[in-house]
Amino acid sequence: MDLNALQHRVLPVGHLPVIRGLIDRLGFKEVIDRYLPQHPLAKVSDAECVVAMIFNILSGRQSIWRIDQWLEKIDLELLMGSGVEGAFFNDTRLGGALDRLDEIGTDRILGDVVTAFLASRDAEEALTVHMDTTSVSLYGDYEDAPSPSPAYGFSKDKRPDLRQLIYGLALHGPMGIPMAMTVNSGNTPDQTSNRDLLAKLTALLPDSREVTVVADCKLVDADTVGQVLSAGFHLVSLVPKSFGLRGELVRKAWEDMPTSDDWPILAERPPERKDEAVRLYRGRSYERAMRVHLGRDEHGAPKVSEETMRFVVVWSDQLAERFDAALEDKLAREAEALGKTHSRLLAAGFACEADARRAAERAIKPLEHHRAEVTVRSEVRTLKRPQRGRPRKDDVAPTEVVWFADIALQRDDDAINAARREASCFVLITDWLSDTWTDQRVLNEYRHQHIIEGHTGFRWLKGPAAVAPVHLNNPRRIRAFGLVLILALMVRNYLQATMRSAASERGLGVKHPFRKKPDLKLTTEMAMEWFGAVWVVFVSLDGETWRRTTPTLRAEAKDVLELLGLREELFARPPPR
């Protein structure tokens, strides 16, 4: 063989064949094709446009107008089939696909995908759904935009200067698989977003499944709790601090169990560092009646019902330590605030003793951790003479009596202990009254709320997925692109959950790319690091057709494929079109 006649070229492919294999397994490409079949004159289908955007999102995310340039630099045929070119995915083509997705309905498409996923898991009759909302900041001018309209509102991104949309998300508990999503106007209250999300879950999940909704404190109001119960769902949520019964239950728990050691242990959290101790959660539950609204009557008035709920009062040693660590700063700020009030309101003096005392009592009313002793004193003040010139020898200078209030502060240990007890506790609410749902189980389900708040939910969407800022010129495309992000999150979380479950079953994890030791809870991003140096080599001899050679994968990459149930052929054989 004449080596001078041998030509070769290489293209990166990385972890994308793994993503392609999981997309095929989840089947949402077929769902989109069913609603949006490929036009005879189109070079690629709308479903393929969605897959291309998912590839891009799970590789670091380029702007939509640059996706075609990014695709031209990878082995696109291996991922999407023979004859597919990066130029087919220009921003106009992708924007048109987003428009058509929105016309069909993002809820309908996601609903079919979730229904197919649940049908493949018939053994799972009990579902735990974690739900929450977040704000997504937008850049650009969106005047007179249709609903959902970008608007100014409470920004969870700390960007009140930008318009925003409110995204709602519900995840299947064990795996973090997206079940439903909502997009609302930027000034929509969390309670309204939660009700919209619950309505979509009600329409999606069959009656035969036992569904427990886990959410944060915005779920706890008469209308939303009533909607959960009317749908046949169960709930586990955090009771808001503004809920009157919360303080009563905390005080009741401390009366029944005067010291924290008296509280039963509900859960333990192992230390993150060697110098830390095991974190403890202790608590007990009480049953109380709660007034909820089970729908509306023919006149639009709420149907009020008294429902028995279980409230779990939980004490956390970490919360107690956090209160103690911040106590001295709180005392200093409280004393400083009173000093400013004293100098502004009390130093000028008052015309009578009663006014001075009332002003001092108003000033000390906000005190939480101090006792205050108020003393009132009077002074005789010489006034300015009413006329100009030198006074006569027999003139008496005019005077007035001015009253002042002095405040002496003292640390109130009783109030501090009461505040510590209050701050070290939180209260959970659930309608589960059976013995199968113990206090420990209720707490553990709520502790899994990080599934939606962390890297399997909003933190991923706002970090690696770069959902914010979004650069799209109308809310329809923003809404449709939200569906694409949710589908990408589904692939990401499904990969992580499947890999971790298989590693746990065999009792041996995948080697961490940086720590160089097996890890049973490796994240998707760390597992994909083992595919970072995978390139596909093309060779041609004497001007023959280019031939793709199978890349040699590292042992750790093969290990990941084995856990996911995927074959190495993904890196050698393009899929059929």
Q: So where are the chain's domains?
A: 3-104+490-567, 109-316+427-471, 323-380+399-421
Pick the CATH number of 109-316+427-471 from 3.40.50.300, 3.90.350.10, 1.10.10.10, 3.40.50.2000: 3.90.350.10
pLDDT of 467 reads 45
pLDDT in tens, 420-463: 999 999 999 999 998 889 999 999 999 999 888 887 888 887 76
Question: Can you tell me the distance from the alpha carbon of 571 to that of 505, in angstroms, rounded to the nearest whole number?
Answer: 27
Whether the per-residue pLDDT at 2 is higher than 70: the answer is no
The partner residues of 126 in beta bridges, in order of sequence, read 210
More confident residue, 387 or 247: 247
* Phi-psi map region of 565: left, alpha, beta (phi>0 left; psi -120 to 50 alpha): left
Strands 302-316 and 370-382: unpaired
Cα separation of 206 and 211, whole Å? 9
- Tell me what pLDDT residue 469 has: 44
What average pLDDT does the chain have? 86
What average pLDDT does this structure show over 299-309? 88
Q: How sure is the predictor about 321, in pLDDT bands with cuts at 50, 70 and 90?
A: very high
Q: b/e map of 482-512 (b: 16 or more CB within 10 Å)? A: bbbbbbbbbbbbbbbbbbbebbeeeeebbbb
Q: Which two tokens stand for residue 271?
A: 């230390």
Please state, in angstroms and as integers, the Cα–Cα distance from residue 74 to each residue in 84, 429, 466, 485, following that order.
12, 51, 21, 21
167 backbone dihedrals φ, ψ, rounded to 5°: -100, 135
Please answer whether residues 166 and 137 qualify as being in contact, where contact means their C-beta atoms are separated by less than 8 angstroms. Answer: no
Residue with tokens 């492919």: 13
Alpha helices in 365-474 (DSSP H): 413-423, 439-447, 450-453, 458-462
Question: What pLDDT is attached to residue 392?
Answer: 74
- In tens, the pLDDT along 5-15 reads 567 678 889 99
CA atoms of 319 and 351, how far apart (whole Å): 47
Vertex 353: Cα angle to 352 and 357 (nearest 5): 125
Look at residue 3 and tell me whether its pLDDT is greater than 60: no
* Whole-number pLDDT of residue 417: 93
pTM of the full structure: 0.82
